[in-house]
Chain A
């Protein structure tokens, strides 16, 4: 039982005058920054205000709200031994320094998601996206990550799926498992689509990314055979080769090899599917592990540089605070109004269900002391949110005309600078054909028109900011391809790792039906299940590049809904555990985010399924095209009968998926509520699966900076603080 030991008192500290002064100052500065953002209209607002508003809000939330949840709601117990301490085996259970674990956990949760979503959401203006990123993370995303991490830690590091099955029941558990698998497939398809859109017809980008494969193979060999375990020197060599590959891309582009690396989107789809299959059946040390070292290094380096760049150059936001698309809902990047679609488009960075998979399982097995969940769970998510703020800044410093020319589907903007300039003018923004030509020339790309998916836009924004601190205009092309490399690199890592996770899940499930396929060492089984997973996401990727209506604007909402569906599962599990363990009066800390998440996701699914507007509703879209086909007509942008049929099939499939997601959410929440009601009615507490109390003998600080008392205690054990 959870409350078998008396809840430890929250460490009482009487705030001194200095503390009060500091927190008053933080609040005032934050409030001023928010006021500037809220009141400025039609003026030039500096991006610094976004950074200041974000940092002050995070500081207050971490100090007060996260502390309240840690000690009052979760009742973390510093005397209780964590699984890392009790079950230490030197491998997966291992008490790890809190700062090191923060680094690991952050690297595991933050990828391309927090960079892509905010760029697309900039269509609504910078303000709605920024507000959701900051308030969403404080009240929903970081709370979810920390609470899931805590409950998993109290259950020896059980996964979200296991907790759903054990705490809710077989129905909720099965729905949770299906959700995890489906979101994985959609996620991989959409992320791979981002890469395809960034590399299509770009010999520079394609060459550099292709070179990462031999570089990673070399690193894997070096680390395995020549110098086992020497990660740092291997990574230094790898990064040097990577920079060389980016520079060499520029030479290749200007040479006779350019033709060989100019690939159409469909060729890239085939290449990615083959890569995904091969990479996922090779041993981890060959390709995945070294690629992971490279992408982690690039990630931390680029994000750090971006933060410095924004602070040093203090760019002015060109985007409007709130655009007209927020209310009309007919924006070209994605359809639908501000509610619910901003909250769907920005998942990672504000609230991401996917994190619950990492916050349960791997990280909780390595936490030294219980109070550290605040730093590692809540803190790492605040850091990811900050990455998302950087991304929305990078997209908002661009000229809106260029932003819409890049992010509208080809069906709208055509393929020439003249057609794009006219289309952007029709949207109500201006960019001349010459400006479009020179923007592409500055980054040495053949064209920037209809480069959807967010990565190219972010890369142009980053090159704008970076060239302001390093190298000037001459370096714009280098920084652009550096940014493309940085995104493609960790998307490919996700594709590889995600295909593996999907395969394990499939093997695990099918193994119940037919034993041999569950064996991880039986190669035909491995190939078959890997092939199924690659085939599934490869299919979505293919529809994404072949859909005449545009891939990103069709698939991204589906990805967002799937991710928020997983968040609904995680928030339901945590709410149920809070109620079952006699903490119903505090269950609102996850129940309110759950209600919000359910409202957003169900509204979005409802509109995607039932809206009579063919731009928004998948079935209305299907009807429009199938009616035309029956009448023997072709509707733009389709040019052939086959394209008409493709649109009809894709719309039906996407509509069915949106409906399936809604049904899964309702099942999980309803089953969770059933358990909550039973727990509230029962005279005796319902059984939970929490591991019994054992006394801890370790000493380690709770937060990032140790207090004087913690320093003394830890020093007595001879450990580092």
Chain B
């Protein structure tokens, strides 16, 4: 039950884009370890929302 709730919570966060910063940190850690990273505030300000919407 707890595991199911955790998965649902993870899904909601991921779909809404809340995990974008965590993903960014993970990406930097993997590909550019040791280099400085953006703060959450800076990252969210730079993040572009493509937002093409259909009819």
Contacts and interface: CB of A to CB of B under 8 A. Distances in A.
B55 A90 contact: no
A543 interface: no
Contacts, number: 99
Interface string A81-97: 00000001111101001
A224 B41 CA distance: 8
B21 to A, nearest CB: 6
Nearest to A495: B53
Nearest to A356: B54
A480 interface: no
A228 B44 contact: yes
A111 B52 contact: no
B40 to A, nearest CB: 5
B23 A232 contact: no
Contact of A292 (B14, B31, B45, B49): B49
Given A94-B27, A497-B52, A100 B12 contact: no
Interface string A230-255: 11100100000000000000000000
Given A97-B14, A229-B44, A230-B18, A92 B55 contact: no
B55 A494 contact: yes
Contacts of A88: 27, 31
Interface stretch (A265-273, A357-365, A368-376, A411-419): A357-365
B27 A108 contact: no
B20 A229 contact: yes
B53 A91 contact: no
Interface stretch (A347-355, A590-598, A614-622, A631-639): A347-355
Could you say which interface size class chain A belongs to?
35 or more
A63 interface: no
B41 A228 contact: yes
A288 B51 contact: yes
A674 interface: no
B55 A348 contact: yes
Given A348-B55, A720-B10, 10 more contacts: A91-B47, A110-B54, A111-B55, A229-B18, A229-B40, A231-B17, A232-B16, A288-B51, A293-B16, A494-B54
B45 A284 contact: no
B19 to A, nearest CB: 8
Is chain B's binding surface mostly helix, strand, loop or mixed? helix
Interface residues of B, number: 30
Contacts of B18: 229-232
Given A231-B16, A231-B17, A354 B54 contact: yes
B54 A358 contact: yes
A124 to B, nearest CB: 20
A109 B20 contact: no
Contacts of B49: 284-285, 288-289, 292
Contacts of B53: 108, 111, 292, 490, 493-494, 497-498
A90 B15 contact: no
Nearest to A354: B54
Interface in B1-35: 10-18, 20-21, 23-24, 27-28, 31
Contacts of A231: 16-18
A175 B20 CA distance: 37
Contacts of B14: 97, 100
Nearest to A223: B44
B49 to A, nearest CB: 5
A501 interface: yes
B50 interface: yes
B23 to A, nearest CB: 7
A209 B10 CA distance: 32
29 contacts: A89-B27, A90-B23, A92-B48, A110-B54, A111-B53, A111-B54, A187-B55, A228-B41, A228-B44, A229-B18, A229-B43, A230-B18, A231-B16, A235-B16, A288-B49, A292-B51, A292-B53, A348-B54, A352-B54, A354-B54, A357-B54, A358-B52, A362-B50, A490-B53, A494-B54, A497-B51, A501-B52, A563-B55, A720-B10
A641 to B, nearest CB: 36
A448 B50 CA distance: 38
Interface in A700-720: 720
